Structure 1
């Protein structure tokens, strides 16, 4: 939080919480009309397809025509900050899946195999690691608890782990 340890101890010992400091933005984009104009344009552009939106250079050129005295970098910094603070308003239509390392998914599945010249269904216990896209499988005679536990034991040995029992 950027505070001294004595200050942190004071807050920990008492029932007070530190107050967040609100920093007022300075500069022509915040103190004059330019930031409001650019924000309005960016809100309008969010409704358009990506190819039809204004570029940072186009926004800068339009501002210059209106009498803007600032630099192109000033406009770029403002737009980047605006985009970072308004990301939640953009609905991407999907949510990113997170696969932490070390997590596995286990499920039964049915596989077709040729046995004695005939196609038969074989039950299999399949373990996948979504983080690395690694997968392991073991054929089993049925889908019950005994087969599940026996299959897990075999899968852990395949992966390189050890299971007592």
Structure 2
């Protein structure tokens, strides 16, 4: 019900006022078989305290499978290569 009402309100707004449409966005397309690799940070418990942990995350763009964040000590080339070796 919510989605139907939202969709109808968007169609009305688009029909009435073209200025509400955001033309600053573009559709991203990725060829099949590509992946995205990112560094990130997450919080983890260590000794009862929250600490920030650097992570390496691999996203297969045409898959519902997301690799779990791989913890690393730093964000540098050495850790990147080590993380890739461990993921694959």
TM-score (ref. length: structure 1): 0.37
Does 1:150 find its partner at 2:87? Answer: no
- The answer to which structure has the higher helix fraction is 1
In the TM superposition, structure 1's runs of 4+ consecutive aligned residues that sit over 4 Å from their partners are none
**Separation in 1, partners of 2:44, 2:36:** 23
Which gives a bigger RCO, structure 1 or 2 (Cα 8 Å, sep 6+)?
2
Work out whether 1:131 is the aligned partner of 2:26: no
Q: Based on CA coordinates, which of the two structures has the bigger radius of gyration?
A: 1
Count of residue correspondences: 69
Cα deviation for residue 142 of structure 1 reads: 1.0
Higher strand proportion, which one?
Answer: 2
User: How much does 1:92 deviate?
Assistant: 7.9
1:48-94 CA deviation, whole Å, 9 max, x = no partner?
A: 827xxxxxxxxxxxxxxxxxxxxxxxxxxxxxxxxxxxxxxxx9834
Alignment partner, residue 43 of structure 1: none
124-133 or 113-122: bigger deviation: 124-133
Q: Which secondary structure does the structure 2 equivalent of 1:134 belong to? A: coil
Q: Measure, in 2, the Cα distance between the counterparts of 1:96 and 1:133.
A: 20
Task: Supply the distance in 2 between the matched residues of 1:112 and 1:126 (Cα, whole angstroms).
Answer: 14
Structure 1 unpaired stretches of 5+: 1-47, 51-90, 157-165
| Aligned partner of 2:34 among 86, 103, 120 | 103
Q: Displacement of 1:95 after TM fit?
A: 2.7
What is the rounded CA distance, in whole Å, between the counterparts of 1:106 and 1:95 in structure 2?
Answer: 21
Q: Secondary structure at the match of 2:43?
A: strand
